[in-house]
Amino acid sequence: MNKFKLFLKHNFINILKIEFYLFFMFILLTILFHFDNNAHQYFNNTDFPLNLNGIFALIITLFFGLFFFICLIFPFLLLLKLIFILNLKMINKKNILLLVGVALLYAGTLLSVFSLYSIKQNLNIVDKKQIK
């Protein structure tokens, strides 16, 4: 057994738990950002004030960029994990339950990414209507 398979066999549960917590944290931050209407105007802008709303919008903008790429790559990683589980014969209820939980949180992360994208698009439409 090579080192990579050995590493996966020993740390598979920890990797899934880290993914679970990261996706949950991003969804929670997106929900908090959704209710902070004052910070919406600073989202995805390079000029933001150094107050709580501006810094929160900067953090959410950075997470938005990071998780946008994670959303593109993660389905392939999930498929590889399924192949490794079957290959290493690590099928048990805990692994399957964690994989299903991570997959559900991935779907929530997709919704969060697109809701953040729609916040900025909605602000652009409102600004154009106010100019006319």
Q: What is the pTM of this model?
A: 0.76
The C-alpha atoms of residue 79 and residue 63 are separated, in whole angstroms, by 24
Integer-rounded Cα radius of gyration of the chain = 19
Query: For the segment 74-116, what is each residue's pLDDT rounded down to a tens digit?
Result: 888 888 878 877 777 777 888 788 888 888 988 888 888 888 8
Across 62-74, b (16+ Cβ under 10 Å) vs e yields: ebbeebeebeeeb
**Any idea where the domains of the chain sit in the sequence?**
3-131
pLDDT at position 3 over 80:
yes
